[in-house]
Structure 1
């Protein structure tokens, strides 16, 4: 089962943010897996850091198979980390250039606290999560009042999206009981085992609800279309020093997003999923591919507008993760994405 973005660090606590500065002083990236993704280019090189979720590994495999990085005259070294704080740390200490498939809720409060980072494009725009329940009596958001909801830590991705979902339906956080279970996969297991009443998890299990004895209460990509799941971000220093390399990298990923959004990608995607996630089955892979066919699932033009970023900041402020909404130009630079699209 795919775990998605590491739930514990998708939206970190203030204590976690304080660690970024210390991590950034490291000479290298402790605990990174060195996955060589995409071979020879035209003399330009980029070092990419992404999370180690199943969906990310599959997209990297597709990127390699389609030779999208060499097509823009780049060679690349891709590192995958299990600890999301290392994404920011490695960008700030210069050991990597860019991350492309990560939630960026943690970036916004880091910028507020002085981190020299910029969000430079969208990636996976729609949440690839549903809210699952085991009790057949739980059929809507209103049925969640008084129930136990499994998520990650307060402020992390799974917790934040459930708070946003409840708020949309006029339900306050104090009307439910949140339990920190961990990752998306852990939450799903807890729901299926009846340890919690309900919880959000990825769509890799969406077509196996009968198998696990659960049902979907809500499809969050429909309930929260304004919530941006993933984006690309980098350091101000990298933009200044390696702008052309970053633009080319974004162009390669834009090709990937366009390909995965096309029905022509199915066979290659399923093959890539099997190689990247050997323990998975065809049903799981098929569920993830079908989700990618949803209109707007991926940022095929790399676009990430001001309204989307304001929504994320408003959500952070409402949960105490940020103290205020920052100006768009302080948190984002979309000129790189615009230049990348011109290369396509």
Structure 2
């Protein structure tokens, strides 16, 4: 059985818990809230004992032997217990898959299994997840796409007993800029301040702060995804917030070097998929890099790395020029090939 994360709480309230749940995806807030809904339902149904299995220290995997033994051991302090398995990579491996499959083939009456994973794609699915689906619920928390964000916000407002017109919802979507956690926080604030009135655009603007996350990670994503307008807006926000160029440049250089390495391998006909794996680039991030590689040849990525060195020297006063202007022109060139000509004027 499959279920949307936001629908899970309602389904849990309508009957007893299933023997197993798999909640996975890159959208952390949706995974956390769906898992919390399972935990809350477990408490409501008298399940007070809870065990957690995850990789610790230098271990790459949870202790599968201990988990298997736990499945077969009686509860110590309660008639039923919740066993949580945390898989950040979404892959239990051969041994873990076996343990999960055997659990699902004959689930103990006193155990509810909750598996959470921070990554998910078709490549992650297997016999173990199919086994969970047969006896329980699979809930996949994919990132909310830009065109879906307003609908997600509207649904969340309604779940808190709030009403907002279309323009107000769109305004909130633009201000949180894809950050679901910021959107959730703003909705909670609106629940306290709206006084039950329908929220129109003017009311939304007066109640909601600009929560867009103008951080370096989103700046880099916008550059690699080819989104120059969004990139320029976020850089302007960072500058207005008083961020210093050197604080941003480390991540920028690292990502440019990573993309340049990918471009070199692709140019010589190498195995780009293997390089993604070697650099630990998640499946969900790979399309972004592929789009970036399609816009520029390998030598240009090397030039971008060199240009980042110039920005660094400007920021440290070792070369003439405005580092903010140079950084903006560099990243605009990454996002839009037609902006390459701006680099010739990076001395500001």
**Structure 1 and Structure 2 fold alike (TM over 0.5):** no
- State the TM-score, normalizing by the size of structure 2: 0.22
Q: Which has the higher helix share?
A: 2
| Higher Cα radius of gyration | 2
- State the TM-score, normalizing by the size of structure 1: 0.22
Q: Which has the higher strand share?
A: 1
